[in-house]
Chain A
Amino acid sequence: SQQGEEDPQALSIQEGENATMNCSYKTSINNLQWYRQNSGRGLVHLILIRSNEREKHSGRLRVTLDTSKKSSSLLITASRAADTASYFCADRTSGSRLTFGEGTQLTVNP
Chain B
Amino acid sequence: KAGVTQTPRYLIKTRGQQVTLSCSPISGHRSVSWYQQTPGQGLQFLFEYFSETQRNKGNFPGRFSGRQFSNSRSEMNVSTLELGDSALYLCASSLGAADYGYTFGSGTRLTVV
Q: Which residues of A contact B (CB under 8 A)?
A: 1-2, 30-31, 33, 35, 40-45, 48, 50, 88, 90, 92, 95-103
Contacts and interface: CB of A to CB of B under 8 A. Distances in A.
B104 A96 contact: no
Nearest to B57: A97
Contacts of B55: 95-96
Given A31-B98, A45-B101, A92-B98, A97 B56 contact: yes
Interface of B: 4, 6, 31, 33, 35, 41-45, 48, 50, 55-56, 58-59, 88, 90, 92, 94, 96, 98-107, 109
B42 A95 contact: no
Contact of A41 (B4, B102, B107): B107
A30 to B, nearest CB: 5
Given A45-B101, A48-B99, A96 B107 contact: no
20 contacts: A1-B41, A1-B44, A2-B42, A30-B98, A30-B99, A31-B98, A33-B101, A41-B106, A42-B4, A42-B107, A45-B103, A48-B99, A48-B100, A90-B43, A95-B56, A96-B33, A98-B33, A99-B45, A100-B43, A101-B42
Q: Give 6 closest A-B pairs by Cβ, nearest first.
A: A45-B101, A100-B43, A42-B104, A43-B104, A97-B45, A42-B106
Contacts of B109: 40
